[in-house]
Structures are given as structure tokens and as C-alpha cells.
Amino acid sequence: MSSHPLGKTTLRLPLEGFTVKVLSVVGARPQFVKLGPVAQEFAAANQSGGERIEHVIVHTGQHYDPWLSDVFFADLGIPAPDVHLGVGSGSHGVQTGAMLSALDAVLDEHRPDWTLVYGDTNSTLAAALAAVKMHLPIAHLEAGLRSFNRRMPEEHNRVLTDHAADLLLVPTKVAMDHLANEGLADRSVLVGDVMTDVCYLVRDAVADQPVVLPGGVDPDAPYLLATIHRPDNTDTQDRLSAILAALQALPVPVVLLAHPRLVAKADAFGMSLNGGNVHQTRPLAYPQMVRAVQAAAGVITDSGGLQKEAYLLRTPCTTIRPETEWVETLDGGWNILDNELSALANVAVRPAPRGEQPTPYGDGHAAAAVRHTLLTWGR
Ligand code: UD1
């Protein structure tokens, strides 16, 4: 692809025998989940002839624990990264800056037609900044999400990335509206949500498998699945202690899938995550997570992706945040926001809403739309 895509709004048919080079940059757990269906779609479509995508995968190393990284590559059929930057942890500036400086040489070597960035992490922003400075076209997958909460690092990352990008691959109509309000409609394409693709595929693949809960919790009795990792919930002692007390007092076992940030902060504050009805365990691999969410009485979380997975798997969710980017999950009561922890005891275990559930996150074919758009945008 030779022309810069900024400002082009029409889709054209791909050319036979054409190859587009896409360089995906990922680094954190939710990005591996999104990369899974995209990488599989690129590889499968290449087998059937016609236009091709040459796919280069760059792992920044933001997440390095095997349970946050390697298991996702293995379970979701993602090829090993072509490049691993090994950046690791650090303050936002140190972590993002280390990625930024390492990415220059990688982008210079590959000169991709598209630098494809995912979601809202520091890895997303670093790759977008590196590419825009080198005048290389950027596509942002999961563009247009907004919490309107400027305290969240993810909100800075997604707003800045959307405005740096040339092509915005958008999961929902609400996200399309946000982008239009910011003057970005002419580079936005509604492709659906690739997390729906992977969630449905894995749900069907594990439907007959037993639910296995680490920590000795009986999967045949009602249980809750919980994750807490956002800085606003983990990084001050009073807040973390209030959340743990609320979880420990719930009436059924709570399987707490502890993110390294949560473990580190609890250690630093001298707190135990176990106690009352809480059973702390390591994070689950994606297929086990999907199965465990499906069978749970409810989910309690501050994760973005897990709110949506609970919705797709028809499990009630309670979100420990003042707002959500995935506002569609709130319709019909599938998801309830309880940042003050005042409702948790009453709503954590509640029946699933009855009746038809709308499908705001697409039908499970978003990765094909992503591929088509990358092949045809601006040509
Ligand atoms: C990051 C993303 C967040 C995403 C989350 C999913 C940013 C700003 N945040 O948050 O959007 O929802 O990933 O998990 O990019 N750590 C380890 N091992 C690891 C990774 C992290 O021990 O493999 C510890 C380190 O102490 C680190 C802390 O966790 O300082 C936080 O990691 P970091 O990458 O800064 O952000 P997350 O909280 O994981």
C-alpha cells in the first residue's frame, strides 16, 4: 500500500495478489485476547489465496508473568512474537518511554503498511506515538471507548491514540458517536467487537468441559468470580481494605483471581487477600475463565473486558467503578455499577435478567471486518 490513508472514507475491493504488511503491537493481557481472533483471521484468510496480510507481532513485555502472557498465546493459537521488547514494569513515564524508544528501530526495520494497536494500555499509546512520529499509518482497534474519567491511565491512552491514528476500528455504535463528537467520523469504521469473536468461539469449545476453580471452591455450588486491579481500587490502603471487607462479607464463596498489582499492593499494606468468603487464586487462563464466568452466580470486577464477557456469557456483573466504557452492559440490569460498595451485599448474587438480550457487540465476525478494512481502506 503506498498512499497514506488519512482522510479517505471509501472502502474499495481488495486487489488479487496484493500483500499488506500489518505490524501488531501488544503487551498486556487484554491485548492478547484481542490479538487472538485477529491473528487467526489473518492466517486463515492467507490460506485461501487472493490478497494477503503479512503479519508481524511485537510484544512490548509490559506483562511478563506467564499467567498474564504466555498462556494466552498458547491457548488462543497466536504465533510467538516476532519481536519481544522485554520492557517490563515501571512508572507510566518510564514504561511508556522505554517502549517508545525501543519501537523506533522495529518500525524502521519493518516499515509496515499498518501499525495495528489494541485497546488502551501504555503499550497502545507507545506504539501509536512511535508510528505517528515516523509518518507510518496507524490503525486503532477498539477505538472510541470513553469513560470520561480523566483519572484513568486507560482514558489518556485511548483518547491520545484515537487522535494519533489514521484508521479507527470501532466496536460499537456508542463508540462511533464518541468519535464523531471529537471530529473523527471520517476515519472511523464500525467493525464490531473482536472480543465477541473469541468469547463465543471459546465458549463453544469448552461447553462440555468441567468447571475447575483453583482454591478448592466447589464449582457445583453458587460462587462469585472477582477481579480487582485498577489503581483507584488497589493503590490506597483504605480503599483496598474497604473492597476486601465487602468481598469477604458476601454470602457465597468469592474466587478472587488476583492480578499481580493487587498482590503487590496487599503485600505492601500488610493485608491478606484471603478471609471470610474470599479465596485468593492466581489468574485463570482464557478458556478456564470463560467456563468459570459462564457457570458463576455473578462476577464482581473493575476490569473492562470482564464486564463485557459476563454480558456475552449471560452472567450478572457488579462493577466496582463509578462509570463504565461498556455502557450497553448496563441495559436491562446485566451490569450494575457500585463504586460506593453500598449495594454489593444485595446485588452480587442476583438472578440473571429474563428475556432477549440485545447484541450491541456484534455477531462474532469482527475480525473478518478488521481484515477487510485494513486491506481496502484508502485504496
Ligand atoms: C494494565 C493496563 C490496563 C489493563 C491491565 C490488564 C495500562 C496503563 N494499564 O494494567 O489497561 O486493564 O493491564 O491486566 O497499560 N506486574 C507483574 N507482572 C506482570 C505485569 C505486571 O508483577 O506480568 C505488576 C508490576 O508490579 C506492575 C503492576 O503489576 O508494576 C502493574 O502493571 P502495569 O503493566 O503497570 O499495569 P496493569 O495494572 O497490569
What does the alpha-carbon distance between residue 70 and residue 64 come to, in Å, rounded to a whole number? 8
At 333, list the grid cell: 440490569
Whether 153 lines ligand 1, by a CB cut-off of 6 Å, is yes
Q: Give 77 Cα–ligand 1 centroid separation in angstroms.
A: 23
Whether 120 lines ligand 1, by a CB cut-off of 6 Å, is yes
What does the alpha-carbon distance between residue 297 and residue 279 come to, in Å, rounded to a whole number? 16
Whether 59 lines ligand 1, by a CB cut-off of 6 Å, is no
* Nearest residue to 115 (alpha-carbon basis) of 39, 179, 24, 219: 24
pLDDT at 15: 55
* Cβ-contact 328, 275 below 8 angstroms: no
Whether 28 lines ligand 1, by a CB cut-off of 6 Å, is yes
Residue whose CA lies nearest to ligand 1 atom number 14: 29
What does the alpha-carbon distance between residue 352 and residue 366 come to, in Å, rounded to a whole number? 27
CA dihedral of 38, 41, 43, 49, whole degrees rounded to 10: -140
- DSSP-based three-state secondary structure for 27: coil
**Span 53-82, mean pLDDT?**
97
Q: Give 27 Cα–ligand 1 centroid separation in angstroms.
A: 10
What does the alpha-carbon distance between residue 112 and residue 129 come to, in Å, rounded to a whole number? 15
Lowest mean pLDDT among 47-56, 294-303, 366-375: 47-56
Instruction: Assign 16 a pLDDT band (cuts: 50, 70, 90).
Output: low
Q: Give 293 Cα–ligand 1 centroid separation in angstroms.
A: 22
pLDDT at 114: 98
- What's the helix, strand, coil split of the chain in %, to 5? 40, 15, 40
What does the alpha-carbon distance between residue 346 and residue 217 come to, in Å, rounded to a whole number? 22
**Span 13-37, mean pLDDT?**
89
**Choice between 133 and 18, residue whose per-residue pLDDT is larger:** 133
What does the alpha-carbon distance between residue 367 and residue 346 come to, in Å, rounded to a whole number? 38
**In this predicted model, what pLDDT tens digit does every residue of 111-146 receive, in sequence order?**
999 999 999 999 999 999 999 999 999 999 999 999
> What pTM was computed for the model?
0.94
Instruction: Assign 214 a pLDDT band (cuts: 50, 70, 90).
Output: confident
Residue 163 has pLDDT above 80, yes or no: yes
What does the alpha-carbon distance between residue 365 and residue 244 come to, in Å, rounded to a whole number? 38
Whether 187 lines ligand 1, by a CB cut-off of 6 Å, is no
What does the alpha-carbon distance between residue 275 and residue 362 come to, in Å, rounded to a whole number? 40
Q: Give 283 Cα–ligand 1 centroid separation in angstroms.
A: 13
**Residue in 124, 261, 303 to alter for ligand 1 test, most ligand atoms within 8 A of Cβ:** 261
What does the alpha-carbon distance between residue 339 and residue 326 come to, in Å, rounded to a whole number? 15
**Span 100-104, mean pLDDT?**
97
Whether 104 lines ligand 1, by a CB cut-off of 6 Å, is no
Residue 24 has pLDDT above 50, yes or no: yes
What does the alpha-carbon distance between residue 194 and residue 370 come to, in Å, rounded to a whole number? 9
Amino acid identity at 104: D
Q: What is the mean pLDDT of the chain?
A: 94
Residue whose CA lies nearest to ligand 1 atom number 30: 89
pLDDT at 48: 86
Q: Give 63 Cα–ligand 1 centroid separation in angstroms.
A: 6
Bridge partners, residue 301, by sequence: 227, 319
Residue whose CA lies nearest to ligand 1 atom number 18: 65
Residues 6+ apart with CB under 8 A from 152: 230, 232
Please identify, by atom number, the ligand 1 atom nearest to the C-alpha of residue 30: 6
* Cβ-contact 248, 275 below 8 angstroms: yes
Whether 301 lines ligand 1, by a CB cut-off of 6 Å, is no
What does the alpha-carbon distance between residue 160 and residue 126 come to, in Å, rounded to a whole number? 10
Secondary structure element (H or E) that encloses residue 236, with its range: none
**In this predicted model, what pLDDT tens digit does every residue of 230-286 receive, in sequence order?**
999 999 999 999 999 999 999 999 999 999 999 999 999 999 999 999 999 999 999
Which stretches of 49-91 are DSSP H helices?
A: 70-75
On the CB side of 32, CA atoms within 13 Å amount to 27
Residue 318 has pLDDT above 70, yes or no: yes
Which stretches of the chain are DSSP H helices?
A: 29-47, 70-75, 92-110, 122-133, 153-164, 173-181, 194-206, 231-234, 237-248, 260-268, 286-295, 304-312, 344-347, 366-376
